Structure 1
Amino acid sequence: MASLNVYSILVFLFLTCGAVMATKENNQIIKENNCETKMGLPCVLEAFTSIFNTGSISNKCCGKLVVLGKVCHSALVKRTLENPPFKDLNPATIIAKSIQTWNNFLALIDLPSPSA
């Protein structure tokens, strides 16, 4: 339960304080594409945990992330990496994990539904 609170705080920082620290380019992409309002907090937490820590994401949130779009996904990840709590992370590793996560989401969405 404590880890959920930590992730809630980190996501809050990601969504609010990140705008101050992010590059103009990422902020512009996020603003123009209305990226921050396309997913609810529970799905943001799942995606965040799956990319920046070890965790999984539900099919429901996977679908929401794909609807969010790759441009938003990439800009939000890059902006998060610019925040002080994440400065020590290896950007190449996180971006690679982000791309892998994105590709996994697309694969899940493309799978045919099991017939009843």
Structure 2
Amino acid sequence: MGSLNVYSVLVVLFLTSGAVMATKENDQIMKENNCETKMGLPCVLEAFTSIFETRSISNKCCGELIVLGKVCHSALVKRTLENPLFKDLSAVTIIAKSIQTWNNCLALIDSPSPSAEGYMIS
């Protein structure tokens, strides 16, 4: 639980601080796409821990991640990896996990709900 609190502080820092060290390219992408306001903090934390740890992401947060968009998702992950606090992490592994999280959420959102199957809306 302690690591989640550390991650919570880091995510809040990343989302609210203008002093975060990021490349101009990722900053520009984030600003142009208004990335920092498209996803609620609880879901940002869930997505973050599903990528940087081995936790799952809920259906609700998968929906918010897809609304966030792939461009914003990629920019946020890359921006996080640029922070010196994460210098010891394997960028290749983290990017692969971020792609896996994105694809899992996309498949979940694109698949019909089991409760809706068999019903016709007229």
Match of 2:66 in 1: 66
Identity %: 86
Residue 105 of structure 2 aligns with which residue?
A: 105
Change in 2 beyond 3 A, CA 1:14/1:44: same
Q: Counterparts in 2 of 1:1-116, with a 5 A limit?
A: 1-17=1-17, 20-115=20-115
Could you say which structure has the higher helix fraction?
1
Counterpart code for 1:69:
G
User: Structure 2: where are the runs of 5+ without partners?
Assistant: 117-122
For residues 47-74 of structure 1, give each alpha carbon's deviation from its aligned partner in whole angstroms, at most 9, with x where no partner exists: 0000011111110010000010000000
Q: How many residues of Structure 1 are paired with residues of Structure 2 in the alignment?
A: 116
Instruction: Return closer, same or farther for 1:2/1:56 CA change in 2, 3 Å cut-off.
Output: same
On the 8 A contact 1:70/1:102 being kept in 2, the answer is yes
Larger RCO (alpha carbons 8 Å, 6+ apart): 1
CA RMSD of aligned residues (A): 1.5
Change (3 A) 1:35 1:19: farther
3-state SS in 2 of match to 1:21:
coil
Q: Which protein shows a greater Rg? A: 2
Q: Distance in 2 between matches of 1:74 and 1:88?
A: 19
Q: TM-score, normalised by structure 2?
A: 0.88
Report the AA paired with residue 21 of structure 2: M
Q: Give me the whole-angstrom Cα distance separating, in 2, the residues matched to 1:31 and 1:19.
A: 14
Alignment deviations for residues 75-104 of structure 1 (CA, whole Å, 9 cap, x no partner): 000000001111111111111111111100
Give how far 1:18 is off. 7.2
Q: Which runs of 5+ in 1 are unaligned?
A: none
